[in-house]
């Protein structure tokens, strides 16, 4: 998809950045713009439910909704469960990449997905970093 469309802001960014999630580049930048949070969420889902994908509903005027983790055995009707998507779920390496699907809530049933990864901070490492930050924060709150 290369059409332009609504621009959304990533809530995790220190400085708000605009991304057009209707484009492949915009989706890539959106995922990478909050890599630690997205990789932590995906890897947590993998640890709890097994192989799957992060599904992000994206309304054409309201922007992205709350992401959810969908297990491979779950019903993928929300994103059409096209053969290429199922294959991506079956083939990705959970230790080194995540599968992220954008489900466009525009009544057309279209969606886009991708496999994303960063060599120097794979999902397992991102998960460990965020979990350590959470433990540290909880320790401070207890005192």
Q: Is residue 1 part of a domain?
A: no
Domain count, the chain: 1
Residue 36 inside a domain? The answer is yes
- At 37 the pLDDT is 93
H or E element at residue 100: strand 98-104
CB 31 within 8 A of CB 38: yes
2 within domain boundaries: no
Q: Give me the domain span that covers residue 131.
A: 8-142
> Residues in the chain with pLDDT < 70?
1-17, 59-64, 72-81, 143
Q: How far apart are CA 92 and CA 47, in angstroms?
A: 15
3 is a domain residue: no
């Amino acid at each position: 998809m290369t059409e332009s469309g609504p621009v959304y802001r990533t809530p995790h960014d220190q400085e708000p950045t605009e991304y057009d999630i209707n484009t492949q580049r915009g989706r890539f930048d959106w995922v990478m713009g909050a890599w630690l949070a997205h990789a932590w969420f995906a890897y947590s889902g993998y640890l709890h439910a097994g192989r799957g994908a992060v599904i992000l509903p994206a309304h054409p005027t309201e922007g992205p909704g709350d992401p959810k983790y969908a297990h491979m055995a779950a019903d993928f009707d929300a994103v059409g469960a096209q053969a290429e998507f199922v294959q991506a779920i079956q083939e990705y390496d959970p230790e080194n990449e995540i599968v992220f699907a954008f489900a466009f809530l525009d009544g057309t049933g279209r969606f886009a997905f991708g496999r994303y990864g960063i060599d120097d901070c794979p999902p397992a490492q991102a998960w460990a970093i965020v979990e350590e930050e959470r433990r540290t924060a909880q320790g401070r709150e207890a005192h």
